[in-house]
Structures are given as C-alpha cells and as structure tokens.
Amino acid sequence: MEVLWAPWRMEYVSSDTTKGECIFCPCGDRGQDEKRLVLCMGDLSIVLMNRFPYTNGHLLVAPLRHVSTLAALLPEEKLDLITMVERSIGVLKEVMNPEGFNVGLNLGKAAGAGVEEHIHFHVVPRWSGDTNYMTVFGEVRVIPEHIQATYQKLVRFFKES
C-alpha cells in the first residue's frame, strides 16, 4: 500500500471554518500580512500565497471587494485582477524559474472552490515532472463526456457572443 504523508494538511482539515473570516478580505492590521501570507495589496486586488499549495509558489489573486462571481466584478476590478495575475507570473518567473503555469478560477464548490464566496485566481508555477498523485499513482484522468459533444454544446454560444 502506498502512503502519502502530508502532515501540513492537518491544519486545514482540523481548522474551524465557522469563524466567518474571509482569507481574501483585507484586515485593518497590515502588520498581519506576513502571518496571512499576503505578498501584495493593490488598490483593487490582493496577492497571497496559498497556504495549502499544489506546488511551491502557488499564489492566489483576488479582488479586495468580497464578490463570488466574475459578473459581479466592475470593469476596473477585472483589469486590475488580470494585471495582478500577470505581475504574479513575472515575479514567479524571476524568482522560481518555472517551466510553465496553470492559471485559473474554481467557480463553485463542485468545481473545487475552497472559498467559493470570494472569487480568486490560482497562479500555479509548474515544472516538468511535478504531476499530481492521481496521474502518477493511478494513471487515471476522468473525462465523462466526449470532447466533440462538449464542443458542440459550447461553440454556438461563442459564435453568438
């Protein structure tokens, strides 16, 4: 039997999520930035390290305003978020020299959002050979719908917009 040791996850598993504090909302005490792993706070967005990363350097970029959807963002917030994602990538390239990146949003609990009430981007630096355990141990990737079926569902909406 293979055993995966991840003792750092115990803090997450046993944490009290009823406190009502959002990790992305700015607190009044900027002296807590290091403890909160805040790397940068702009006028409209914040960058912090993911406390439970997929890889070293896994960053989270969120608007300062507490919103849960892309549609709820103001145009200037959208621009600021993408600019901050771009800046985060530049810093990670300079400091950690990754070979690539995964950048994305998990919208909704079913999509894996851990904090679904405050939208945020994941910026994950990647290196060849750092694949996740499902692929390494199980050699499994589950895709329940044929790619052409998904394409047909989506293509008409992109043509209309």
Average pLDDT over residues 68-80: 95
Q: Look at residue 147 in the predicted model and tell me its pLDDT.
A: 45
pLDDT tens per residue across span 20-30: 678 888 777 77
Active site residue 146: no
Residue 48 is predicted with a pLDDT of 87
Instruction: Catalytic residue, from 58, 66, 118, 120: name it.
Output: 120
CB–CB of 46/38 below 8 Å? yes
Q: Is the dihedral of CA 15, 29, 122, 78 positive or negative?
A: positive
Give the Cα separation of 156 and 160 in Å (integer): 6
Spacing of C-alpha 33 from chain mean position: 19
Domains of the chain (ranges, CATH numbers) = 7-130 (3.30.428.10)
Report the percent of the chain where pLDDT is more than 70: 67
Task: For residue 69, report the phi and psi dihedrals to the nearest 5 degrees.
Answer: -135, 160
User: What mean pLDDT value characterizes the chain?
Assistant: 75
pLDDT-derived band at 159, boundaries 50, 70, 90? very low
pTM for the whole structure: 0.72
pLDDT surpasses 80 at 18? no
Give the model's pLDDT for residue 106.
86
Q: Which residue has the higher pLDDT, 76 or 114?
A: 76
Distance between CA atoms of 105 and 119, rounded to whole angstroms? Answer: 8
| Token pair listed for 145 | 């719908």
Q: Is 129 helix (H, G, I), strand (E, B) or coil?
A: coil
Give the model's pLDDT for residue 143: 39
| Burial of 106 (C-beta count, 10 Å sphere; 0-12/13-18/19+) | middle
Q: What is the pLDDT of residues 90-126, one digit of tens each?
A: 888 878 888 999 999 988 888 777 887 889 999 988 8
DSSP-derived 3-state class of residue 101: strand
More confident residue, 56 or 158: 56
Burial of 24 (0-12, 13-18, 19+ CB in 10 A): buried
Q: In this structure, what token pair is assigned to residue 159? A: 């043509």
